[in-house]
């Protein structure tokens, strides 16, 4: 389906729009099928080819909502040019705001059911005591702890120095 919409061009903080005919599914900055005019919102200057727009709309091209508003403001009317204003929401009351805060705070709190976990003792998870490995001697445990500990920078530097002295 073809659509008529704005395509932004121009520099940062100085907008300039082309009025283009494109496929509805294509990206906004993609190549346009046809350039139908331009609009400069800073100076309110615009140039629109009314004949082409009316012809395309009568053939089935639909203007975007912002384009429909722009066309109506520029007195281009057709039965297929329909502007749908955004429905403004009623301001929330203090009670509604308070209810929303309460529901959010309840959602953040962990429920009591999730805090209670059925953890089995370590022995039961691993199996019975008969299948476990035999207990290690205190010396074996100390050796494992020493080898598992990361070495500090001083310990790493000392070893190469010792090797140099031995040679």
Residue 6 belongs to domain spanning? 2-73
Please count the structural domains in the chain: 1
In a domain, 137, yes or no: no
**Predicted TM-score (pTM) above 0.75:** no
In a domain, 153, yes or no: no
Nearest partner of 4 among 45, 58, 40, 43, judged by Cα: 58
In a domain, 104, yes or no: no
State the pairing for strand pair 2-11/62-63.
Answer: parallel
Q: For 74-119, how does the pLDDT look when each residue is reduced to its tens digit (9 = 90+)?
A: 888 888 888 888 766 667 777 877 887 787 777 766 555 455 555 5
- CATH label of the domain that carries residue 55: 3.30.1320.10
Q: For 36-81, how does the pLDDT look when each residue is reduced to its tens digit (9 = 90+)?
A: 999 999 999 999 999 999 999 999 999 989 999 999 998 888 888 8
What distance lies between CA 17 and its chain's CA centroid? 27
Alpha helices in the chain (DSSP H): 50-59, 65-73, 94-108, 112-115, 122-126, 138-148, 153-166
pLDDT at 144: 76
Q: DSSP labels for 59-104?
A: HT-EE-HHHHHHHHHTT---TT----PPPPPPPPPHHHHHHHHHHH
18-22, 24-28, 157-161: range with lowest mean pLDDT: 157-161
């Amino acid at each position: 389906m073809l659509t008529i919409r704005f395509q932004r061009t121009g520099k940062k903080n100085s907008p300039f729009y082309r009025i283009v005919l494109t496929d509805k599914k294509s990206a906004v900055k993609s190549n346009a099928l046809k350039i139908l005019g331009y609009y400069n919102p800073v100076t309110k200057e615009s140039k629109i080819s009314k004949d082409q727009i009316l012809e395309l709309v009568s053939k089935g091209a639909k203007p975007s909502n912002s384009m429909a508003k722009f066309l109506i403001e520029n007195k281009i009317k057709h039965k297929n040019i329909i502007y749908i204003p955004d429905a403004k929401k009623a301001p929330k009351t203090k009670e509604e705001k308070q209810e929303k805060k309460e529901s959010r705070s309840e959602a953040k709190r962990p429920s009591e059911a999730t805090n209670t976990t059925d953890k089995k003792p370590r022995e039961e998870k691993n199996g019975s005591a008969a299948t476990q490995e035999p207990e290690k001697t205190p010396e074996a445990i100390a050796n494992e702890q020493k080898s598992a500990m990361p070495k500090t920078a001083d310990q790493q530097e000392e070893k190469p120095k010792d090797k140099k002295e031995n040679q």
